[in-house]
Structure 1
Amino acid sequence: MNARILPLWARTTGLLEGLAPLVLLLFRLFVAIAFWRAGVVKIDDPTGTHYLFSEEYQVPLLSASAAAFLGTWIELIVPWFLALGLGTRLMAAFLFVYNIIAVISYPALWPKGFWHGLIGSDFADHKAWGLMLLALVAWGAGRWSLDALLGRVFKPRVATDA
């Protein structure tokens, strides 16, 4: 019995590991599109954006104008790096923290209380994005990325003794 199961298990897990580049690409694209769309909404309606940052969001340490400006441009620029897989771990870590600040700064996301939101269904999108970003921090962009391409192009050459 074990003689048949173990090789089958090894082949199956080997095939599933081949999905990693696709999964990491989909994580990058899904999160990048979500953040980029939020940036487009902000830049399309500067008055509404200023209102949100003045009245709804409670961003610590920044004025409403500075937070609106930074939030808009972060959401318009950083997702491109993430989607292309360029500086992925750094960009994913940055957006991970940005996502946490967004959740904390917008109490409307957690109507039943912040702690309920962590385990309940409140701000489910932000939790999914956070987990995908954390996976990208841990595993990088994968083979289908500019990070991987640049790593192959600029791979350090090992000196050999003659």
Structure 2
Amino acid sequence: MHYVNNPMDLPAASPPGAAGRALHLARRAVRGLDGLSPLVDLALRLFVAAVFFNAGLTKIASWDSTLSLFENEYAVPLLPPEVAALLGTGVELFFPVLLVLGLGTRAAALVLFVFNIVAVVSYPDLGAAGLKDHQTWGLLLLVTLTHGPGALSLDRLIHRRLGHGPHG
């Protein structure tokens, strides 16, 4: 991926000598980092998807415990505990799959971003470590939400197949 206003988008003519060689090496380094961008985008999506998907698997593994948590620990606003448990588990199992595939990626990241906020608000005994985890996941989701899925995604493939070019 190539970013607009990249500081390395300097004129092709390099100054002579050591400064020119340094500028050439800097350009090569930036091109190398640009080449890694699709893998970083994918890794980021896979990491955050695994966190939410595993939480969903834990919930369905012991549904009685999950219902008990939603009845006694989690204070999800506006929803009865049974509905909150069902919707929460559904979100944790469905939207991470979309993130992994890179399909509807921005929408999936937005849903999980909001879900993450609701989780923090709904669990007053989260603690400092738990809050830090949720902040990290929120930031990773925000990167995906604002940056997009990257080149290794079904979204990008569909976008290209529809004739809209490489970005999307």
* Global fold match (TM > 0.5): yes
Equivalent-residue separation in structure 1 for 2:58 and 2:164 (angstroms): 43
Code of the aligned partner of 1:66 = V
Equivalent-residue separation in structure 1 for 2:66 and 2:164 (angstroms): 46
Partner of 2:156: 148
Call closer, same or farther: CA 1:154–1:70 in 2, change over 3 Å. same
* RMSD over aligned Cα atoms: 1.4
Call closer, same or farther: CA 1:9–1:141 in 2, change over 3 Å. same
Equivalent-residue separation in structure 1 for 2:62 and 2:20 (angstroms): 64
Partner of 2:14: none
1:73-105 Cα deviation digits (max 9, x unpaired): 111111111110001011101101110110111
Correspondences of 1:107-118 after superposition (within 5 Å): 107-110=124-127, 117=128
1:26-45 Cα deviation digits (max 9, x unpaired): 11111111111111111111
Number of corresponding residues: 148
Higher relative contact order (CA 8 A, sep 6+): 1
1:14-53 Cα deviation digits (max 9, x unpaired): 1111111111101111111111111111111111001110
Does the alignment pair 1:31 with 2:48?
yes
Q: Which runs of 5+ in 2 are unaligned?
A: 1-17
Equivalent-residue separation in structure 2 for 1:18 and 1:47 (angstroms): 47
> How far does residue 124 in structure 1 lie from its aligned partner after superposition?
2.3
Call closer, same or farther: CA 1:3–1:156 in 2, change over 3 Å. closer
Q: Percent identity?
A: 48
Q: Which runs of 5+ in 1 are unaligned?
A: 111-116, 158-162
Equivalent-residue separation in structure 2 for 1:134 and 1:156 (angstroms): 24
Partner of 1:90: 107
SS of the residue aligned with 2:152? Answer: coil
Does the alignment pair 1:68 with 2:76?
no
Equivalent-residue separation in structure 2 for 1:155 and 1:128 (angstroms): 35
Correspondences of 1:5-24 after superposition (within 5 Å): 5-24=22-41
> How far does residue 126 in structure 1 lie from its aligned partner after superposition?
1.2
Call closer, same or farther: CA 1:156–1:138 in 2, change over 3 Å. closer
Length-normalised TM-score, structure 2: 0.83
SS of the residue aligned with 2:125? Answer: helix
